[in-house]
Amino acid sequence: MRLTLAPVCRPQQWKPLLTGGTARRSYAFQSGSLNFEVFNRRAKWLQKERAAANVEGGRQADYLKDEVAMRVCERLLDVKRQFPRVLDLGANSCNIARALLRPDPDPESEPPVTDPLATKITELVAAESSHSLLHRDHDHPSLSTTHVPDFKLTRHVLEHDELLPFEPDSFDMVLSSMSMHWINDLPGVLSQINSVLKPDCPFIGAMLGGDTLYELRTSLQLAEQERKGGISPHVSPLADVRDVGGLLQRTGFKMLTVDVEDIVVDYPDMFALMQDLQAMGEGNAVLGREMGPIGRDVLLAGDAIYRALHGNQDGSIPATFRIIHMIGWKESPHQAQPLRRGSGQASLKDLLEGQ
């Protein structure tokens, strides 16, 4: 990791930086290839393999990933284009393929869209590092492609989930749902995505971020603090919305759209939430975490604090999943450009209030 901290460390260089002809940013930023490890990749891989071994439990716990994959794929309704070759990066159990194959993707629009979204795609390459998870639903009816004969699903097991072994300019779209929050080197992976895309092709992704699982994080922190007198990380550090916009911009994407939505799921108790996270393969894989299971005392205290601090009236507990959606287009000289700032003629406020 190279950090440019020159202005702070070497005060005599302040002046040339400030008075130089070109405006230069003097805050710390990372450049070149960075070696920044937050997550234990092997632990994550093992968790996914184990989660895939529990087929029924895994399918039951797929509600969140299927929902997010559906919301990602809904965004394709707005792109009037055919995509011959599409990459699904971090495919989990092919949740994106499942969402694409769903009939009646948009029954409420005028006219209703009844063809599955998969009709827009010829080949979907589902890339995932866990072989068992990727092939878990190989013969499941939800992944049957008989009703979309022109659609082909190719599974690709990644040797290293942060290195894309694909040719540059070889995909017409890259999708990613619920997996990029485990990537150590997010800028590196985003620029690889940019590189494998053909010019003027979109990247549409969603990942967990920001305040995801803040209830669980705070409850376990308080429980450990009171029981043991110290804390260790149980919930990953996650990217914030602001970071994601900056990252996309820095890795060369154009016409960015970044938005967030919260999905709140109610659970009977903290243990049910933790069991489901485990069945999703979304267990804790932070480097430097305390190894082994959480002690019984901390679990007991954590559940009580969760209820007291965040619990619902009916005795259930809420868990917030904050999904960061991002869309970025690879640069091309012929693509539509955003209009100049301040050039708008109609006020959005009038439009929205007029209705």
Q: Which lies closer to other proteins via its Cβ, residue 84 or residue 268?
A: 268
Among 89, 173, 222, 277, binds other proteins (CB under 8 A): 222
* Alpha-carbon distances, residue 288 vs 29, 125, 217, 238, 284 (angstroms): 24, 34, 16, 16, 11
Q: Does 150 bind other proteins (CB under 8 A)?
A: no
Closest separation between CB of residue 305 and other proteins, Å? 5
Closest separation between CB of residue 225 and other proteins, Å? 5
Instruction: Give 5-8's long-range contacts (Cβ < 8 A, gap of 24+).
Output: none
Task: Please check whether residue 323 is in contact with residue 274, taking contact to mean a CB–CB distance below 8 angstroms.
Answer: no
Residues 6+ away with beta carbon under 8 Å from 222: 301, 302, 305, 309
| Residue bearing tokens 């601090």 | 309
Closest separation between CB of residue 231 and other proteins, Å? 10
Helix (H) or strand (E) holding 18: helix 14-19
Q: Stretches 104-112, 122-130, 193-201, 266-274: which one binds other proteins (CB under 8 A)?
A: 266-274
CA–CA dist 260, 188 (Å, integer): 22
Q: Does 79 bind other proteins (CB under 8 A)?
A: no
Residue 251 backbone dihedrals phi, psi, to 5 degrees = -90, 10
Q: Which lies closer to other proteins via its Cβ, residue 74 or residue 297?
A: 297
Q: Which lies closer to other proteins via its Cβ, residue 208 or residue 305?
A: 305
* Alpha-carbon distances, residue 101 vs 37, 80, 111, 283 (angstroms): 36, 18, 20, 28
Among 4, 225, 316, 320, binds other proteins (CB under 8 A): 225
What binding mask, one character per residue, do residues 288-327 give for other proteins by CB under 8 A, x or -? Answer: --------xx-xxx-xxx-xxx-----x------------
Among 269, 289, 318, 320, binds other proteins (CB under 8 A): 269
CA–CA dist 144, 166 (Å, integer): 26
Q: Does 229 bind other proteins (CB under 8 A)?
A: yes
Residues 6+ away with beta carbon under 8 Å from 141: none
Q: Which of 161, 149, 189 is nearest to 281 (CA)?
A: 161
Closest separation between CB of residue 44 and other proteins, Å? 18
Closest separation between CB of residue 58 and other proteins, Å? 10
Q: Which lies closer to other proteins via its Cβ, residue 184 or residue 221?
A: 221
Helix (H) or strand (E) holding 86: strand 83-89
CA–CA dist 220, 212 (Å, integer): 14
Closest separation between CB of residue 86 and other proteins, Å? 32
Closest separation between CB of residue 47 and other proteins, Å? 13
Among 34, 55, 143, 265, binds other proteins (CB under 8 A): 55
64: left (phi over 0), alpha (psi -120 to 50) or beta: alpha
Q: Does 119 bind other proteins (CB under 8 A)?
A: no
Closest separation between CB of residue 135 and other proteins, Å? 15
CA–CA dist 319, 264 (Å, integer): 6
Q: Which lies closer to other proteins via its Cβ, residue 260 or residue 304?
A: 304
Task: Please check whether residue 197 is in contact with residue 203, taking contact to mean a CB–CB distance below 8 angstroms.
Answer: yes
Closest separation between CB of residue 63 and other proteins, Å? 19
Closest separation between CB of residue 299 and other proteins, Å? 7
Among 104, 165, 271, 335, binds other proteins (CB under 8 A): 271
- Amino acid at position 117, single letter: L
Cis preceding linkage at 111, omega within 30: yes
Q: Does 265 bind other proteins (CB under 8 A)?
A: no
Q: Does 56 bind other proteins (CB under 8 A)?
A: yes
Q: Does 54 bind other proteins (CB under 8 A)?
A: yes
CA–CA dist 106, 118 (Å, integer): 13
Point out which residues bind other proteins (CB under 8 A): 50, 53-56, 222, 225-229, 269, 271-272, 274-275, 296-297, 299-301, 303-305, 307-309, 315
